[in-house]
Structure 1
Amino acid sequence: MATDDKIRNMAEKARGKAKEAAGKATGDRTMEAEGRGTQMKSDLKQAAEKVKDAGKDAGKH
């Protein structure tokens, strides 16, 4: 996984956590759900990057 992609995904996940926490603190269920959604999107992107990396590694053998 490219380092910049990894950093971007981690930042996106952090934004999602912050949004979820803000939603919980204010009682805004929509914001809370959006924060969880952002975190899941980040997790999926990271998983896709890992699959791409595994494919690249498998091609080297």
Structure 2
Amino acid sequence: MAKVCEICGKGVVYGHQISHSNIHTKRKWLPNLQRVRAVVNGTRRRITVCTTCLKSGKVQRA
């Protein structure tokens, strides 16, 4: 399962964690993804959706 929302395409973002002493270490920010049953093209499917799409009503849950 890819860490990408199937509705908006939101995915993993990479960057640096910066400490108080200005040391940069690599890290990644993961989207808040949920597996939900939704109606897609008239059929029920289990899709991976971010919570932003769920809250905004872009997904019709089955």
TM-score interval, normalised by the smaller of the two chains: under 0.3
Q: Larger Cα Rg: Structure 1 or Structure 2?
A: 2
Q: Which has the higher helix share?
A: 1
Instruction: Tell me the TM-score normalized by structure 1.
Output: 0.28
TM-score under structure 2 length normalisation = 0.28
